[in-house]
């Protein structure tokens, strides 16, 4: 009797979380796959077409361009954000006056929303009167088009991503650095290890788990970049910043090709899944 009532209570406690997490997580995931096998505009009844959406998408030049932009963004952003994060963390890992203030200020952009960042940097990189062109003029560099130049817009997005994203890497690296026992570093120094050798053989191995975590985390984030693109360029100029999630959003909610959009989303999700499962396995084998 007691047992039964405990199970009943437990289910009552778990029910709201179940309903929302499964109902708006698992159910949409399956539904989305079904959608990807259909032609659907979200209003009229859908029509079954099997895997045709996937076939068309593999040959769609717009989708291929979106994949290309996403890969360029990710390939630039991830190594840079981690390298900069590590460099800054090493720089900030010392006991001097005002160090807390420096750490806080480096991290602050991380809490600023992608929308606010996008609006702010659209203003700073405004091609006619923006602050960025004023600074360039000061160095006698001719004014740049920035977001209006299709050869610059994507790289500018990487730069903004770095400005706001590096703070997260810094705090994670700092936490890991502070976990390294000081005796270990001192012992290495006593044994005659120089700065570089100490870093290479004592500090770096200790940082490896968090580096892998950051690598995966930042890659997943970069492959799914959307908000910043929506606010700054809406995929332009000349589709030069159309990334995959923006393509999915456009297809689903602007062009009303929901089935096609779902197929594109599944292609990306498949990559993300393989990536996160692959890393988990690789990590398990290590430990």
Partner 1 sequence: MSAEPLRRRRRGRLPFSPWHLVLVPVTLVFVVPLLWLLVSSFMSNAQINRFPPTIIPDSLHIEGYRYVVRNALFPRWFLNSAIVSLAVVVGNLIFGVLAGYAFARMRFRGSRLLLAVMLGTLIIPFQITMIPTFLIMKKLALIDTLGAVIVPSLVTPFAVFLFRQFFLNLPREIEEAAWIDGCSRLRTLWSVVVPMARPALSTVAVLTFLTTWNDLAWPLIAINNDHNYTLQLGLATFQGQHRTQWSAVMAGNLIAVVPVLVAFLAAQRTFIQSLTSSAVKG
Footprint of partner 1 on 135-154 (CB under 8 A): 137-138
Of 34 and 238, which has the nearer Cβ to partner 1? 34
Given candidates 52, 149, 276, 279, which one binds partner 1 under the rule CB under 8 A?
A: 276
Close Cβ partners of 199 (under 8 Å, ≥ 6 residues apart): 90
Should residue 213 be labelled a site residue for partner 1 when binding is judged by CB under 8 A?
A: yes
CA angle 110, 111, 113 (to 5 degrees): 100
Is 57 among the residues that bind partner 1 (CB under 8 A)?
no
First to last CA, the chain: 44
Q: Does position 184 bind partner 1 by CB under 8 A?
A: no
Is residue 265 close enough to count as binding partner 1 by CB under 8 A? Answer: yes
Tell whether residue 274 is a contact of partner 1 (CB under 8 A): no
Closest distance to partner 1 from the beta carbon of 113 (Å)? 4
| Spatial distance between the Cα atoms of 279 and 287, rounded to a whole number of angstroms | 13
Distance CA 30, CA 51 (A): 15
Q: The tokens of 241 are what?
A: 């910043």
Among 2, 59, 97, 285, the residue binding partner 1 under the rule CB under 8 A is: 97
Task: Write the DSSP string, 7-37.
Answer: HHHHHHHHHHHHHHHIIIIIHHHHHHHHHTT
Q: Which is nearer to partner 1, 111 or 187 (CB)?
A: 111
One character per residue 102-141, x = contact with partner 1 (rule: CB under 8 A): x-xxxxxx-xxxxxx-xxxxxxx-x-xx-x-xx--xx---
């Amino acid at each position: 009797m007691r047992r039964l009532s405990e199970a009943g209570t437990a289910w009552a406690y778990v029910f709201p979380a179940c309903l929302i997490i499964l109902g708006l997580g698992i159910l949409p995931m399956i539904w989305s796959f079904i959608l990807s096998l259909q032609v659907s505009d979200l209003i009229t009844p859908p029509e079954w077409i099997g895997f045709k959406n996937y076939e068309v998408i593999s040959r769609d030049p717009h989708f291929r361009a979106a994949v290309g932009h996403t890969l360029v963004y990710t390939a630039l952003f991830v190594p840079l954000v981690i390298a900069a994060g590590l460099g800054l963390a090493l720089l900030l890992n010392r006991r001097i006056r005002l160090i807390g203030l420096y750490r806080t200020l480096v991290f602050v952009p991380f809490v600023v929303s992608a929308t606010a960042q996008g609006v702010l940097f659209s203003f700073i990189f405004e091609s006619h009167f923006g602050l960025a062109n004023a600074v360039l003029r000061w160095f006698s560099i001719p004014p740049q088009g920035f977001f209006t130049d299709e050869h610059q817009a994507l790289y500018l997005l990487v730069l903004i991503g770095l400005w706001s994203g590096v703070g997260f890497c810094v705090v994670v690296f700092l936490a890991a650095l502070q976990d390294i026992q000081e005796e270990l570093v001192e012992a290495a120094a006593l044994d005659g290890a120089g700065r570089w050798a100490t870093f290479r053989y004592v500090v770096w191995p200790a940082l490896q788990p968090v580096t892998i975590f950051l690598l995966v985390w930042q890659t997943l984030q970069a492959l799914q970049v959307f908000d910043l693109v929506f606010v700054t360029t809406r995929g332009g100029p000349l589709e030069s910043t159309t990334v995959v999630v923006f393509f999915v959003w456009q297809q689903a909610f602007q062009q009303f090709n929901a089935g096609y959009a779902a197929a594109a989303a599944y292609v990306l999700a498949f990559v993300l899944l393989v990536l996160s499962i692959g890393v988990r396995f690789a990590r398990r084998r290590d430990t």
